[in-house]
Structure 1
Amino acid sequence: MKKEGLYVFHQNYVSNPYILVFILLFIIWAVLCFWVYYSFGENWLIVTVVVGFFLRYFIRVRLEIDTTSKQYRSVLNLSGIAVGKWISLEELSHVQIGGIIEYKKKENPTTDDYQQTKKIQVRLIFRAKTLVVWEGNDKEEAKEAGIFLGKNLNLKILDATRREFEWIDV
């Protein structure tokens, strides 16, 4: 936090710009392959794989919310260089804390079994879209994050983790 009112959600941020990351990785990968092939000759594949894994762990995508100016941005951080455009939060309706169930197919190819996992999300609800700012398994931590955002952005908070939805008073 460098500036008062700027909060960074990065650990469990869900709405990543996957296409942008993929394109950036592809371009970096192609340039490195070209350079490594002409620099290292026969060992180009090993060096390229090592450099690719190195780059994979230095690219981070996070969400920054500035509560004083009511703006957010999705930041692509490549080894300390951050890129992102600030977008206004003026059309926000409320903060929602809700549960979801994810279904993943098991690795066994002979069965049609699905593994389900329950997760809790904290969402900023706009008029026309939803922005997921936090996802995890701990209901109390999700409530703390939702209440924190509701207080700092002066929004109502909807607790949708149970069948009967309720508005949380702040």
Structure 2
Amino acid sequence: MTTRWLTPKEQRAWRAYLAASHLLEDALDRQLQQDAGMPHLYYSILANLSEAPERRMRMTDLAEKLKITRPRLTYAVTRLEKDGLVGRESCRWDKRGSIAVLTTEGLAVLERAAPGHVETVRAALFDRLTEEQVGQLEEICASVADGFQGDEGTAPEDVPWRRRSSPSCS
């Protein structure tokens, strides 16, 4: 099979994407460490749970929403649980599953961190774009993400949240 090397234009776009995504993630992590003592992933867990019905979500569904592996989510939730920000409950309809629950303290931490987080996102990304570019960014990112979902909306086995690993109760 012949390698399809990137064109110079594609190489520039790829490198610009890498630089922007790394710098953005660094800015978000720094702000959240300073304001809430947690990395961006932990904030994302709290935010997603805050939007879920009754602030509860099955761990496998949360991993899919966050686009991360179940073991990585389990580790993060365990840390958040030790800090009293998240709790875990057994899943009533699946004995192997568990439910992550945002605690009152977790919601308070999220509410304190959210204004600074939103300001960082706005300053680092959206204030630098025109309205047209915001639409293009959404379209481009959705297209890339959809490409990982498969043609029929079912994710292939190699997406993070479906990867097989050691047995766990996620």
Higher helix share: 2
Larger radius of gyration: 1
TM-score w.r.t. length of structure 1: 0.29
Higher strand share: 1
TM-score w.r.t. length of structure 2: 0.29
